[in-house]
Structures are given as structure tokens and as C-alpha cells.
Amino acid sequence: MAVIPIALVSLCAQAPSLSVWDGVYTADQAKHGESLYRDHCERCHGLELEGDDESVALTGETFEANWDTLPLGKLYQRIRRDMPYNDPGKLSPEVNAAVLAFILKSNGFPAGETELPHNEDLLNLIRFDTSKPAKK
């Protein structure tokens, strides 16, 4: 059974539709995710997450356009199910969430005080918005 951070449950209860602009990962989680990215993803996706002819970029306009307004759980599912390319699905849910936190940081989304969960249902409560939503 997954342990769900109380702060995230509380945040989701207050705002059932979070955005990646709401600080949904921690700086420490992204830092850990960077080292995991270097170990498991860099070979295909590049030092700067730029991709190449065979691997998609994980930053930039095309990447953002592909995921804009979709639930973050969809991106997490893609990573969990299809990566790494040479051994899909081998990474733990925690590793996948940390790598995703690094991807969010690399795309300029702010860190917060609660780690990004590794529960797809919770991640589906967070939208990947390329533009910062207007204050409510």
C-alpha cells in the first residue's frame, strides 16, 4: 500500500486541479532525479535533455506542446511503462517520480515543499500546463 503524503492530500482536497506551476516536487527530489537521469536516461535523451533523431527531447517547445494540459500521470505512466528503452519498466516508482521531478525542474517549473508522488492517481490530479495559470 502506498503512503500518500498528507500535505499533498490536503493540497489536492483544497484544489482538485493542481498545475505543475504549484510546486509539486521538491528541490531535493529533483536533485536526486538528476543523478538517476544521468544513470538511466542521458544516454538516449542527452546531457541537456535535448533528445536526438531517435529519442524525444524532454525539454522545449515540442515536449511542452505534446504534454500541455494533460494530467501529469500520463507522462509518469509513459516513463514507467516505456523507459528505459533497453529495459522498459525496470525502474521503481520512486525512481520514476524523481526523474520526472528533474524533468519538471529542467523545464522551469518551480519546486515546492512536497515531493512529487509516485502514485499515478495522485499525479492525474496535476496538470502539465506550459503557461502559468492565472491566479484564481
In a domain, 134, yes or no: no
In a domain, 9, yes or no: no
Q: Is the dihedral of CA 5, 8, 12, 14 positive or negative?
A: positive
CA distances from 12 to 9, 19, 49, 101 (A): 5, 11, 30, 18
User: What pLDDT, in 10s, does the model give residues 121-136?
Assistant: 999 999 999 999 887 6
In a domain, 10, yes or no: no
User: Beta 70-71 vs 126-128: how paired, if at all?
Assistant: antiparallel
Q: What is the mean pLDDT of the chain?
A: 90
In a domain, 71, yes or no: yes
In a domain, 95, yes or no: yes
In a domain, 112, yes or no: yes
In a domain, 64, yes or no: yes
CA distances from 1 to 93, 94, 118, 119, 136 (A): 13, 14, 12, 10, 35
- CATH code for the domain of 70: 1.10.760.10
In a domain, 68, yes or no: yes
* Stretch 21-32: mean pLDDT: 98
Q: By residue range, what is the domain housing residue 116?
A: 23-127
Q: How many residues does the structure list for the chain? A: 136
User: What pLDDT, in 10s, does the model give residues 78-123?
Assistant: 999 999 999 999 999 999 999 999 999 999 999 999 999 999 999 9
Number of domains in the chain: 1
